[in-house]
Structure 1
Amino acid sequence: MTRILSRKQFLAGLSALGAGAALTGPGRGEVAAADRQAAQGVTEEAANFVVATRYEDLPPELIELGKKHILDAVGLAIAGEKAESGPIVRRYLGDLGVLTGPATILGTGLQAGPRFAAFANGVAIHADDFDDTQLAVAKDRVYGLLTHPTVPTLPAALAVSESLGRSGRDFMLAYHLGLEVTTKLAEAIAPRSYEGGFHSTSMCGVFGSAVCAGKLRGLDAKQLRNAFGAAGAEASGLRENFGTMTKPFQAGHGAEAGIVAVDLAALGWTAAEDIFEAKRGFFAAFGGGWDPGAIADKFGKPWSLLSPGVSIKPYPSGSLTHPAMDVMAALIAQHGIRAQDVAQVRVGTNRQMLNTLIHHRPKTGLQAKFSMEYCMAVLLVLGKAGLGQFQDDIVGRPDLQDMVGRVDFYNNPEADAAGADKMRSYVEVRAADGRTFSGQGDFARGSPQKPMSFDDEVGKFQGCAEFAGLPRSKADRIVTAVQNLETVADMRSVFPGMFV
């Protein structure tokens, strides 16, 4: 059974722990000894795990799966530099005078110091909301709303690897450790955090960034705990910013801030060394509680990327739209449905999906990514939903806006009953002639239940590279480099000069 500590229970329990008393709460009974131990040492456990883990400890299947997610993020960074936020970020960094340094800003001919390159790459990877998505285990955790775990971690791992001349193995180890800590934190914090409006990608991802930078810089466990404390002061992000440039800003901030925390800790900076479990720490402040059973003695047991897995997106929109989009695409293909024949579309989901897909009449490409109505409309009207279909001028087309108005997005109690760990979506298309076509989906292509192969990911990467105008020869070289990362002696040899 999942054990969630309310804030009241948690604080009361901490004060009792010193005297060896049980951690209790109203209607809960005595908490197991394992929970009491977890409440005392999760930050220390995370730091020790990071310091002790070697590349040789990574399962071979984890390494190979990670390459798929790394290639995915690199392609998204290249494409993301073409988003409206790209030139703004580059001008911002130029005005700061920081466009000199050892770390690559992917998709550009620019380099910067590690923290600034990580910020730019984090923004770019998340700009199109096309990056990978953590899956939930417990039914009270929201599938697709835990984190986008690669976006705050890979930029940090890449930037620090390049700045220090680390190997491809060092880079992959740091990336996997950062992703593992990020995902375990997101799984453990109480669901109130997501429901209340915190953006978990940046809120949890700042610690993953610190893991990457700390591992590569060789911090010991005490230094890393101080880095976690400093990173906790930068943990942030609000879901109300979804559909604006500030959503990817939040991801980029998480990637940058973790590096800053490590840079300071390496110089002797101090912070709370129990920031995760402290009575005024991360879990209490952001979640109002947490589930020790989801994180205590769980790092690498199993690795989250292996189980329950992390989904690779088939469409550049919020992952909660994807099962319904797959169902709609299948209905169109099976029945030859044409937009002009559609009277109404109904999409029923759980309430958490309605709480996130908040743009019901989108006017911009960013808003359209968080609009179930638009995602249905664009498939019906244009027959595809790629990067080119989530641009402002396309979203504003009268025929698309008309179809958006015919889509009814509602809460279906049966979807609620299926659990928030699924994206249960009921799709019904009503034709003007009275015919009705319907389907149901829980998981989309790219999820562990319907995984993409590496070749599938290469196709997605090539599409991103083509969208950004990167020559095919250079795109092919990047694919080969990622496939053979374990043979790379110095990460500075991989990307510099690739984008000029």
Structure 2
Amino acid sequence: MTAFDPQSVTHDMAHFALDLEWATLPDKVRREAPRAWLNWVACTVGAARTPAMEAAARGVLLMESAGEVGLLGRSENASVSNAALLNCLGSSSQTYDDTHLATITHPTGPVAAAALAVACKRAGAGQPVSGRDLLVALVAGLELECRVSCAIAAGGGSLGWYMTGLSGGIGAAAAAGRLLGLNHEQMVWALGVAAAQAGGFRATHGSMAITYVPGMAARNGVAAAYMALGGFECGSIAVDGRNGLLQVLTGSNDAGLIRAELGTRYEFLNNTYKPYPCGIVIHPAIDACLELARNEHVPVEDIESVALRVHPDALNLTWRKLPDTALDAQVSLFHWVAAALVHRAAGLAQGELDCVLDPRVRALQARTQAEAISTMADNEAEVIVRLKDGRVGSRHVRDATGSVTNPMTDEQLIEKFRSLVSPSLGEAGCTRLLQSCLNLEHAPDASAIVALSREHTSVEA
């Protein structure tokens, strides 16, 4: 293959990103894109004052004194690339962001943050991006990010790689490049430059840096699009060529899963939204524990032991037992199982440090064992609780809440939005921001959402 091989998959990807039109998209796609946006805004605004966001914003502002692009839910401005970094970082800081479960990719964060950053910069130059145009860019980026993730996962890429860092920049570049009006050649360059910046590994889990990897993808995608706009060239083989992204990660150049039915079948429709603020592979076990705790009225003090049967990814990714910090607990199967049984809930409060260190929760974790079952689906788990008097209670969940086979409803997403946003904006401010998200398709300027997210009003009685 030559550096500019016309058969490279980046040409197909560029055509797809540039040729999309809202009016011709399938109804399911036009319904799902606003849902992804709604969930992302809720996660970002709701986490605007988390310790990770506070530290990241301080760090960025130590590098640059000011910028022209606003941050959701915060008063500061940053440069276009660092605004994308921070807004994406915030959306993942409570581990409440969406997940493409088949590949453990968090697709919307990098793409939405990149698109919003470009929309804000364009609005500042008197060239606002309409809500419909932003949604089309979102679809382009989400679809390419998910397809690249599928190709990496199918090729046997190590689970230690943080998938969002590998594919998120490509999706972000596609969205940003479309909003910047790149031509085909420039889009090929942008996708290549984004692929060249792929990186991130899961050893960052359990620390603030778990949020930096998707944030880095958003920033890199924006930078790639602007560099391409400026004439910065990249060969077309960065994704599927010799020593390209796929070959380096998987040993193969097979881009078949990126190309297959591109433009007619939408992989991002297999994206899911989280009902619980923790690693998605934990969710089936949480469902089972909540059913036991609420319906069987299992008395925690009478539990002798807990046995978990879970998909292998649950132990591969969330193996931490007896975590000592809230960040470690976000990716601890054992913490969330114990917390759900003790508190009969699995919300933000159950991820706070006082719950992590609750002696009842920790004692139950110590009495919990987990077994990986290779035949289980990724949205399946079984929880078996043995009581001191010999009784046994169990629940087997096959379609976890929020999974592709049991997705969150619009009403559940709106309830999640309100629970995350109203503490900072109050009920009235939350409602205004919610309506803005629900009406995005008809908005003349998509960047107006930033100002709405900064309206600090008192919480109404």
TM-score bracket for this pair, using the shorter chain length: over 0.9
1:490 to 1:439, Cα distance in 2 relative to 1, 3 A: same
State the one-letter code of the partner of 1:489. P
Q: Secondary structure of 1:481's partner?
A: helix
* Letter in structure 1 aligned against 2:44: A
**Which residue of structure 1 lines up, in the alignment, with residue 393 of structure 2?**
437
Tell whether the 8 Å contact from 2:22 to 2:30 is kept in structure 1 after alignment.
Answer: no
Residue 388 of structure 1 aligns to a residue whose secondary structure is: helix
1:92 is displaced (CA, Å) by 1.3
- Choose from 110, 113, 122 the match for 1:152: 110
Note the C-alpha offset of 1:299: 2.1
What is residue 228 of structure 2 aligned with on the other side? 265
- Structure 1 counterpart of 2:316, one-letter code: N
The one-letter code of the counterpart of 1:492 is S
Residue 7 of structure 1 corresponds to none
1:45 to 2:12 alignment: yes
- 2:227 maps to a residue whose letter is L
Residue 74 of structure 1, aligned match among 41, 55, 59: 41
Can you give the 5+ residue segments of structure 1 that lack an aligned partner in the other structure?
1-13, 16-36, 137-144
> Which whole-Å CA distance do the structure 2 matches of 1:43 and 1:492 have between them?
29
Residue 364 of structure 2 is aligned to residue 403 of structure 1 = yes
1:349 to 306, 310, 322: 310
Distance 2:358 2:293 in 1: 21
Alignment of 1:471-490 (within 5 A): 471-490=426-445
Whether the 8 Å CA contact 2:144–2:258 is kept in 1: the answer is no
1:349–1:89 CA distance, 2 compared to 1 (3 A):
same
Secondary structure of the corresponding residue to residue 447 of structure 2? helix
1:201 match: 164
Aligned to 1:29: none
1:367 equivalenced with 2:322 (yes/no) = no
2:267 is equivalent to residue 301 of structure 1 = no
The alignment status of 1:91 with 2:58, answered yes or no, reads yes
- Name the CA shift for 1:190/1:449 in 2 (closer, same or farther; >3 Å): closer
Which amino acid counterpart does residue 411 of structure 1 have in structure 2?
A
248, 272, 277: which one pairs with 1:285? 248
1:327 aligns with 2:288: yes
Contact 1:123-1:249 within 8 A present in 2 as well? yes
Contact 1:122 1:255 (8 Å CA) reproduced: yes
Percentage identity across paired residues of the two chains: 28
The one of 58, 61, 84 equivalent to 2:25 is 58
Q: What displacement does 1:366 show?
A: 1.3
Measure how far apart 1:429 and its partner are.
0.7
Tell me which residue corresponds to 1:111: 77
Whether contact under 8 Å (2:281, 2:314) holds in the other structure is: yes
CA distance in 1, matches of 2:153, 2:32: 28
Distance 1:234 1:340, change over 3 A: same
Q: Which residue of 2 aligns with 1:20?
A: none
Bigger shift: 176-185 or 218-227?
A: 218-227
Cα deviations by residue, 1:332-373 (Å, 9 ceiling, x for unpaired)? 222111211111111112333211112122111111121111
Mark the CA change 1:57 to 1:98 in structure 2 (over 3 Å): closer, same or farther: farther
Consecutive unaligned residues in structure 2, runs of 5 or more: 123-127, 456-461
Which string of whole-angstrom CA distances, capped at 9 and with x for unpartnered residues, describes residues 45-98 of structure 1?
001111111222222332222212211111111122222111111111221225
Verify the 8 A CA contact 2:319 2:334 in the aligned structure 1.
Answer: no
C-alpha separation in 2, matches of 1:399 and 1:60: 48
CA distance in 2, matches of 1:440, 1:300: 37
Cα separation, partners in 2 of 1:196 and 1:455, compared to 1, 3 Å: closer
SS in 1 for 2:375: helix
Cross-structure match for 2:189: 226
Following superposition, the deviation at residue 396 of structure 1 comes to 1.4
1:464 and 2:400 equivalent?
no
Q: 1:315 to 1:396 in 2, by over 3 A?
A: same
| Helix, strand or coil at the partner of 1:336 | coil
Looking at structure 1, the residues matched to 452 and 297 of structure 2 have their Cα atoms a distance apart, in angstroms, of: 47
Tell me how far 1:497 sits from its aligned partner. Answer: 5.0
Alignment coverage as a number of residue pairs? 448
Give secondary structure in 2 for the equivalent of 1:189.
helix
Inter-partner Cα distance in structure 2 for 1:192 and 1:63: 30
Whole-angstrom distance in 1 between the partners of 2:260 and 2:157: 24
**CA distance in 1: counterparts of 2:356 and 2:430, whole angstroms:** 29
The one-letter amino acid of 2:190's match is A
> Is the CA contact 2:380–2:400 (under 8 Å) kept in the aligned structure 1?
no
Mapped partners of 2:157, 2:412: distance in 1: 31
Partner Cα distance (1:297, 1:313) in 2: 28
Deviation at 1:288, TM superposition (A): 2.1
**Secondary structure, in 3 states, of the residue corresponding to 1:230?**
helix
Partner amino acid, structure 2, of 1:392: L
How far the C-alpha of 1:99 sits from its partner, in A, is 3.0
Identify the match of residue 454 of structure 1 among 410, 413, 421.
410
Are the structure 2 counterparts of residues 192 and 58 from structure 1 closer, same or farther at C-alpha, using a change threshold of 3 Å?
closer
TM-score of the pair, normalised by structure 1 = 0.86
Task: For residue 367 of structure 1, give the secondary structure of its aligned residue in structure 2.
Answer: helix
Aligned to 1:126: 92
Quick one: distance in 1 between partners of 2:308 and 2:25? Answer: 41
| Cα distance in 1 between the residues matched to 2:303 and 2:379 | 25
RMSD (Å) for aligned C-alpha atoms: 1.9
Distance (Å, rounded) in 1 between the aligned partners of 2:74 and 2:393: 46
Give the deviation of 1:146 after TM superposition.
3.2
Asked whether the 8 Å contact 1:189–1:291 carries over to 2, the reply is no
Give 1:305 deviation, angstroms: 3.0
Q: Give the equivalent residue in structure 2 for 1:177.
A: 140
Kept in 2, the 8 Å contact 1:152–1:205? The answer is yes
Q: Does 1:252 align with 2:218?
A: no
Mapped pair 1:498 → 2:461: no
- Single out whichever of 212-221 and 58-67 deviates more from structure 2: 58-67
How far, CA to CA, are the matches of 1:497 and 1:418 in structure 2?
44
Q: 1:290 Cα shift?
A: 5.7
Counterpart of 1:52, as a letter, is D
Report deviation, 1:272. Answer: 2.3
Displacement of 1:231 in angstroms is 1.0
